[in-house]
Every structure is written in structure tokens, then in C-alpha cells.
Amino acid sequence: MGEVLVAGELEIRPSEHLALARGRVLRLSLRELEVLTVLARQQGRIVGREDLYTQVWGSKLRPDDRSVDVYVHKLRTKLAGALPEWDFIHTHFGFGYRFAAELSQSFHTSATVR
């Protein structure tokens, strides 16, 4: 088995083209998995949109290209569907994205209200 990246209840196995949420397979496109893998490999650090684009798409980001944002949104939606109590991809406006498994604010709020 190759590299395994773990964050909270999420496991990413890049060499197997696989991401698991609580042991269940997440249905991700190849590009979504690549974005997730690049972010997870730099867990806890902010990755600039340009750097992320270069690493995943293999070319320079054009000023009007929103591909990174679109794929981050798709990933957030899929991750929230599978692991709603966790947030994994955090936006740092003007800088980029940071990958870190953190309990969701909405999960904290609903747990406190009960």
C-alpha cells in the first residue's frame, strides 16, 4: 500500500485513487481527488490558489480562471455530505486554502443547544 493521508475521519490513498469517509468510499472525480491530495499533503499550511492550480492542472493560473474555487466548492459539498460534523478546507481570503480536520461550527452550536 502507498501513501495514506489521514485527517479526522477522512482517509486519502492517492496511489489507489481513493478517499474514504469513516471507511466508506467517497465518489470523487480524479481532479477532485488531486485537489484534495495536494491540500492534504500540506495539512495545516495555507496553499495559494496559484500554487494549487499549478500542482493539479500543471500550468499557470489565468487571472479569470475560477477552477480552483469550483473544485474546492465541490469537495466541500461532498465532504460535508459524508462527514457533516467536520470542516476540512478552510478559506484564507487573499491567500488561499488550508486543509485541517476541525469540528464544524454548526456541529458545535447544535451540540451545545441540546
Does the pLDDT of residue 113 top 70, yes or no? Answer: no
The total number of structural domains in the chain stands at 1
17-64 pLDDT, tens per residue?
Answer: 999 999 999 999 999 999 999 999 999 999 999 999 999 999 999 999
CATH number of the CATH domain containing 39: 1.10.10.10
Q: Which of 48, 36, 21 is nearest to 89 (CA)?
A: 36
72-100 pLDDT, tens per residue?
Answer: 999 999 999 999 999 999 999 989 999 99
Residue 11 lies in a domain: no
Residue 49 lies in a domain: yes
Residue 17 lies in a domain: no
R_g of the chain, CA atoms, integer Å: 14
Does the pLDDT of residue 68 top 80, yes or no? Answer: yes
Residue 7 lies in a domain: no
Residue 9 lies in a domain: no
Give me the pLDDT at residue 104, please: 86
Domain boundaries, position 44: 28-113
- Which pTM value belongs to this model? 0.89
Instruction: For cell 465541490, name the residue.
Output: 74
Kindly provide the residue ranges of all beta strands, DSSP E only, lying in 1-114, ordered along the sequence.
Answer: 5-7, 10-13, 18-21, 24-25, 46-48, 86-92, 96-103
